[in-house]
Structure formats: C-alpha cells, structure tokens
Amino acid sequence: MKTNSNKAPHPSSQRSWWLTLSALGVVFGDIGTSPLYTFHTALQSPIVKTADFPLGVASLIIWSLLAIVTGKYVFLVMRADYHGEGGLFALLALIGGKKSLASNLRLPLLTLLILFGAALLYGDGAITPAISVLSSVEGLQNSYPSLTLFILPLTALILVVLFSVQHLGTGRLGIFFGGIMLVWFLTLGILGAFQIVHTPSVLAALNPCYAWKIIQEAKFTTIFLLSSIVLAITGVEALYADMGHFGRKTIARAWNFIVLPCLILNYLGQAAIAKNNPSAWKQNVFFELIPHGPLSLLFVGLATVATVIASQALISGVFSLTAQARDLGCLPRFLVIHTNRLQRGQVYLPTINWLLAIICLLLVFSFRSSTNLAAAYGLAVIGTMIITSIAFSVTIVRVWNYPRWIGACTMAALLMLELPFLFSSLTKFAHGGCFPLLIAAVLVGIMTTWHRGRCLIRKKIDSCSLEKLASIMSTCQQGLPGTDVIIDFNSHPNYAAAHALELIRLRGPLRKQVILLTPVGTAQSYVPLKEGLKVTPIEPHLWHIIFYYGYMQEINMPHILKLTAPQLGYEMKEEETFFLLPRETIVEYRGKEMRRWQRALFGWLSRNMSYAPNYFFIPASQIIDFTWIMRV
C-alpha cells in the first residue's frame, strides 16, 4: 500500500530502541493498563453466563486487539501521516481540509465529521487519567478496606503531580516512564503465563471460535458485553495521535514485540483464574493474579504508577491535536512549547494541560469510582475510531489514488468491526456516555466559530493590499519620529496591510518608519536568523519583513530588527520603536453565518489567545495593543 511522501526524519539505529522504550512510557500506557478493569467489567455484564464464559471474554478481547490495533492502526492507518504527524487532523490536512478551512465559510460534511472525531478524543483525554489512576488506587480496598476513604484524595493528589510534570516534555518523561512500563508489561506477561502453566486449557481462547460462540449464546445481549470489551482497546487512538512524537516504526516495534504478547498472556491468565474459581467473578480478577499480602501491596503500587503513566498517552495526544488544530486554523494561537529538537511532534501546551487537569479532578469527584467512569469511556473511543476509518478510506482514494471500490471496501471492512462496539457503547449514554459527546459538541462549536470568524475577516481584508497601503502612506502627512512595527501572525501581507490601514483610520498618520513583520514557523528545529530573513522595500518608509524560524528557537524580535538595519538603511532606536499587536472583534454583523453568541465567543477567543510578548521577548514598554473592530 502506498504511503504519504511527507515523512519525518527517521531516527538513527542507535536511538531506535531508546525511542521504543520511550514509546512504552508515553504511547502504550492507556491500552497497557486496560487489563486492570476490562476483564472484571466484562464479567459483570448482564448476560447469561456458562462455564466457558471467561474463555469467550478472553477470545473477544484478544481478537479485538489483533483486528483493530494490529490490523487497522499499526498495519493500515499509521501509514497515513502529514509531515510525520498522525491523528484525525493529519488526515484532514492530507485530504485537502486545510484548503477548505481557509477558503470556505461553510465547511464540508467530512470536515465537520473529522472535527467532531478529534473533539471526541479530547473527551477521551479527560476521562483516561481519571479512570486509569482511580482504578489502580481502588486496588487498595481489596487488601486494606480501611483505606477506602483515602482513595479519592490520593487519586486527586496523583493527578495533580502528573499534570505538574508535563512541562518536562514527552521525551524526558518517556525515558523515565518507559523503564517502569517495561517492568509493568513484563509483570503482566509473567503473571499471566504463571496462570496459563497451571491451566493450559485456557489457550483455547486463542481460537476465534470461542469469541463467536459467546456471541451466539448471548444473542442480542452481546451488546452489553461489547460495551465492556471496548475498554480493552481504549488508547488505540493515542497510537495514531502520538505518532508525531516517536514515528510509526517505533510504535509498531513496541506493540508487536512487547505490548501485544504481554497483554495476551495477561488476559489469558485472568481467564484461567475466572475459569477455575467462579466465585472470583465478583472481585476484580486482575488483583487475584497475585496472592494477598505485602506482595499484593507492592503490586498495587506498581499498578498505580503504571496507570499514572497510562494517562500520558492521551495527554500527549491532546497536546498534538491542539497544536495541529492551531496550525490548520481551527483554534486560536495557544502557546506551544516544543520539547525535542529531533521530534517536532513533541509539544507541551500549558493552557491545555491545566484545563485537562481541572476536568479530570471534576470527573473523579463527580463519578467517584472507576466502574461509574467506565460508562463514560467507551463511546468517545469508538466514535473517534469510526470517524478515523471513514477519513482513512477517503485518504486511500483522494491522496493515494486507489480506485474508489478499494476505498469503499476498506471502509466497509473497518466499519463491520467497529459499528457493533458503537451500538454497545450507546447503551451507556444515559449513565455517563453523554459526557464526552458534550465536550465534543462544545469544542466543535468553538472550532467552527473561530473558523467562521477568521473567514469573515479574510473576506474583509481582500480589498486591502500592500500597494493600497503604500499609496495612502505617500499621501499622508509626515508621522511622528520613530518606527511602528506591525506584527502579522497570519503569514499573509494583506493582513498586515489591513492592520496598518485600520491604525491610520484610528490614529491618523503612523510613525515615520513602518515595518510589517511576518514571523513564519517551519518544520525545521533551527533556522539561522540571517538566512531566514527576507526584507522587501515597498515604499521609501515602508518595508515588509518575513523571518522564518525553527520550532525549537526562541525568537527575540528586537534583536531580529537590529539584524535588518543594514538592509533598511537606518538604525532603529529602542525608545522610538513600538510593536503594534492587533486583536480582531466582529461587530455589527448582519449576515446569517454568525450568530450573536458566536460573535461574543470569537471576541473572547481573540482577546485571550496567547500573547506575543510571552514568547517573542517584546518589552512591555514598546507594546501598543489595539482592538480591530471589524464591521462586516
């Protein structure tokens, strides 16, 4: 099958296994801690159970992992990347969504569907840390019931610590977490193998006929069982969303050689315990893998650490998606901090980080148990998976130029696997499943509002140009001494010209020298400043400067202006140089595309997006912040 040509640089062979270890700590934490609650939740399903029920559950889980994780994601979907990035926004960029976002006020149905799927992953990213940490800490009540009162406070404390260390970046966290997760996966495999040795008949669960048999026996009640089985594949979207952090080959290597074998062994081990001891079905079978006592406390400790790490997969995925959404123009500028020179996808977003932290804490104290949270979990996961299947099938046709029938067959095959899980997850809608849908609806509202506002502004500035600005400036009387630097973050000179014209309308003539400054980020980690500067004279006192910078560079705008002095022909004095930062607000809009609440939301987003001085080192005394009131 063809792959996208926009590839991220491949890591050297010396780094590949270090990256694999890091991937264990970042990408696979969520799916790797699913054994904590999946088998137990499935055993509680309200269906008729036979003696072979545990084998059927194990078979369903194992073949779901093989079909969806290995078959769909590792073998197929992860071959579709956009400059090394994965996730639904990467698929949107591949199929031309970036162009449609820039030019169309009304978005196509497929684009809206992809936006909704990406927004669902935000809901998943909020639930995952809460359910993962809570489920492991709940293991205390099995061995020490007296500690039950401390479960919620301890969970909250762990979550606060987890979000507090995100600024270190997924690279550093991955190396540290990766070693722990390697111990975790090996422990899962060894404990499962120990039970298999004592009950080798459980290996029959590897036969998919057992999965089919339990579906036939359960009949229509299978829908309740599948709503539990889907928990085994939660975190699978993180594999794709986090691809920019480590690359496809690294993730595939970790999955095929470490994660998958250990998960299969552990689920078989749990099936062995349940088969030999039906009375254990009421307990969490996972914690029966090891005898009660001091060793079990150590095991709970390891499980707690592993679930804390498990949260990293979705947190990192949300960071990646937000950065991609910002680049596509779906969200306003958030401060994005790149944490690795070799992997552009490794990012940290402070605002998103603490917003997720607050939502996670609210979830913990609202739902109060992992069983209650499990009801809210599966729907977000499977919804994102189905939308990914649709978008990937379109990519096969539009980007890789395969015949339509191949795309249709691919979509049909993937949906046949996933639609039963969707229908089963809908049974939990009233019990918490509506929560991720609510988050997704709010986020889609924010993204479409921001997109529409930007489109209306773009139409407004179509009549502006550098030539028009030069003509008006040549007829204006001489301005004050000094330099006005008008910063344009839209990578389009018409925006800078429109901002300058608005300033002339508001204040009269600008200062004697006017510079339109456009910073442009690149896919490189570092661009030499002198090589990245492009100075274009427009009129004797008007210049347009574009500077290209790498994603790991700290940009000092006053210093950049000093570097351009030889080309400008004069040296700017710091006390006479002022940076003008516009913020756009839409008022007096009489069209039907943007309602009053959307105008208010767009204005709020414009006022609160990341402030340039925070990362461009502009002194506060040299800033002139003004609101551009757009009457469209």
Mean local confidence (pLDDT), 286-305: 78
Range of weakest confidence among 265-279, 359-373, 465-479: 465-479
Q: How confident is the model at residue 407 (pLDDT cuts 50, 70, 90)?
A: very high
Percent of the chain at pLDDT > 70 equals: 84
196: pLDDT strictly greater than 60: yes
How confident is the model at residue 2, as a pLDDT?
47
For every residue of 543-595, DSSP letters joined together read EEEEEEE-TTPPP-HHHHHHHTHHHHTS---GGGEEEEEEEEEEES--SSSS-
Q: Angle CA(193)–CA(197)–CA(198) in degrees, nearest 5?
A: 120
Better pLDDT: 194 or 509: 194
3-state SS class at 528: coil
Given pLDDT bands bounded at 50, 70 and 90, which one contains residue 6? very low
pLDDT of residue 359: 87
60-74, 90-104, 198-212, 452-466: least confident range: 90-104
The pLDDT-based confidence of 477 (bands split at 50, 70, 90) is: low
- Tokens at residue 292, please? 């009660």
Q: What are phi and psi for residue 175, nearest 5 degrees? A: -60, -45
Residue 560, pLDDT above cutoff 70: yes
Q: CA–CA separation, 93 vs 83, rounded Å?
A: 10
Using the structure block, give the residue that is written with the tokens 């680049």: 327
Q: What is the mean pLDDT of residues 68-81?
A: 93
* 483: β partners: 513, 577
Q: What is the pLDDT of residues 487-523, one digit of tens each?
A: 877 666 677 787 788 777 777 778 888 888 888 877 6
Cα–Cα nearest to 425, from 232, 237, 235, 224: 224
Contacting residues for 86 by C-beta, under 8 A, at least 6 apart: 78, 80, 239, 240, 241, 242, 243, 244, 248, 320
Lowest mean pLDDT among 22-36, 198-212, 515-529: 515-529
User: What mean pLDDT comes out for the span 189-194?
Assistant: 94
**Rounded CA separation 492/207 (Å):** 59
State percent of the chain over pLDDT 90.
19
pLDDT of residue 254: 92
Mean pLDDT for all residues in the chain: 80
**Which pLDDT value is given to residue 374?**
67
Measure the CA–CA gap between 572 and 120, rounded to whole angstroms: 50
More confident residue, 459 or 182: 182
**Average pLDDT for 339-364:** 75
113 pLDDT exceeds 80? yes
Tell me whether residue 183 is exposed, middle or buried, using C-beta atoms within 10 angstroms of its C-beta: 0 to 12, 13 to 18, 19 or more.
Answer: middle
Q: What integer is the mean pLDDT of 585-612?
A: 70
| Three-class secondary structure of residue 1 per DSSP | coil
Determine the length of the chain. Answer: 632
121: closest CA among 230, 239, 238?
A: 238
Average pLDDT of the segment spanning 412-435: 85
- The amino acid at residue 424 is S
In order of their start, the domains of the chain are 13-453 (1.20.1740.10), 465-631 (no CATH)
Total-model pTM? 0.78
Give the range among 15-24, 335-344, 591-600 with minimum mean pLDDT: 335-344
Strands 533-539, 483-487: pairing is: unpaired
What CA–CA distance (Å, rounded) separates 598 from 606?
Answer: 12
The dihedral sign for the CA sequence 541, 544, 550, 552: positive
In the predicted structure, residue 322 carries a pLDDT above the cut 90: no
Q: Is the pLDDT of residue 65 over 80?
A: yes
Give the pLDDT band of residue 70 (cuts 50, 70, 90): very high
Return the CA Rg of the chain. Answer: 27
Q: What is the pLDDT of residues 82-99, one digit of tens each?
A: 878 888 888 888 887 556
Contacting residues for 462 by C-beta, under 8 A, at least 6 apart: 494
Question: What phi and psi, each to the nearest 5 degrees, are found at residue 28?
Answer: -105, 5
Residue 344 has pLDDT above 60, yes or no: no
More confident position, 144 or 321: 321
For residue 68, what pLDDT is reported?
95
Tokens coding 10:
């491949």
Per-residue confidence (pLDDT) for residue 9, from 0 to 100 = 44
pLDDT value, residue 10:
47
Position 306 pLDDT exceeds 50: yes
Which token pair is 211? 């999965």
| pLDDT for 386 | 94
pLDDT of residue 174: 65
DSSP tag of 509:
S
- Give the pLDDT of residue 11: 47
Residue whose pair of structure tokens reads 């990341």 in the numeric block:
610
Q: Shortest CA distance to 311 belongs to which of 267, 359, 351, 345?
A: 359
> Which of the given ranges, 14-18, 364-368, 401-405, has the highest pLDDT on average?
401-405
Q: How many CB atoms lie within 10 A of CB 164?
A: 12
In one-letter notation, the amino acid at residue 180 is I
Q: What per-residue confidence (pLDDT) applies to 8?
A: 43
pLDDT in tens, 222-236: 888 888 898 899 878
Which of 166, 140, 172 is closest to 153 using CA atoms?
140
pLDDT in tens, 267-281: 999 999 998 887 777
* Confidence (pLDDT) at 55: 93
Q: For residue 419, what are the CA distances in angstroms to 10, 122, 416, 424?
A: 35, 21, 6, 9
By C-alpha distance, which of 492, 458, 468, 439 is closest to 127?
439
